[in-house]
Amino acid sequence: MLGTAFHVKAYQGADLEVYVESGRVELSRVDPVKGDTIRIVLKAGERGVIRQGTIDIGKPADIGADELFWANKKLIFQETKLSLVFDLLKKHYQADIQVKDTTILNCLLSATFTDESIDQILEVVAASFDLTMSRDKDKFIINGKGCTDEKK
């Protein structure tokens, strides 16, 4: 280990995954036949994977917006369409989110949320794009003028 904050996802019969939040982490594996050591160094925002049943170590694409939600309740959005933001919120909070104007789904959000309620997150989203948010039990309704040029 060369770094500070990271998470390991390891389940029997599945790939081992390491997610690095900050610092650097060295991921290595010894080839049982040749005795060679295979290593990769992961930086903040990267993940490494040791494939189940192989000696392969991979470094797939950067960590997605919600890949660490299971470990730290953090959602990271960087120029992310609200259509994806709302899909991830529906997935993690089991919420019904509806928009009155579908161009709202084109708006691009850059924000990080850590251990916040869906109400707090949607209030930030609404304020960021001059939208309104109302709630009827478990249904959230987002209203306002959307983003047609995807630059807002």
Condensed to tens digits (0 to 9), the pLDDT of residues 83-111 reads: 999 998 998 888 899 999 999 999 999 99
Are residues 108 and 136 both part of a single domain? yes
Are residues 91 and 122 both part of a single domain? yes
Are residues 41 and 78 both part of a single domain? no
Please say if the pLDDT value at position 124 is more than 50. Answer: yes
Residue 133, pLDDT score: 94
Are residues 20 and 43 both part of a single domain? yes
Of the candidates 39, 58, 77, which is a domain's last residue? 58
Compute CA distances 112 → 8, 65, 79, whole Å.
Answer: 21, 9, 11
In a domain, 118, yes or no: yes
Are residues 76 and 118 both part of a single domain? yes
Q: Percentage of the chain surpassing pLDDT 90?
A: 33
Are residues 96 and 53 both part of a single domain? no
Please say if the pLDDT value at position 69 is more than 80. Answer: no
Q: How many helices (H) and strands (E) does the chain have?
A: 3, 11
- Residue 142 CB-density burial (10 A; 0-12 exposed, 13-18 middle, 19+ buried): buried
In a domain, 26, yes or no: yes
Are residues 121 and 82 both part of a single domain? yes
Are residues 38 and 104 both part of a single domain? no
Q: Mind listing the pLDDT tens digit for each residue in 34-60?
A: 888 888 888 887 888 888 887 778 776
The CATH number that applies at residue 125 is 3.55.50.30
Domain range for 10: 5-58
Instruction: Give the mean model confidence (pLDDT) for residues 108-117.
Output: 90
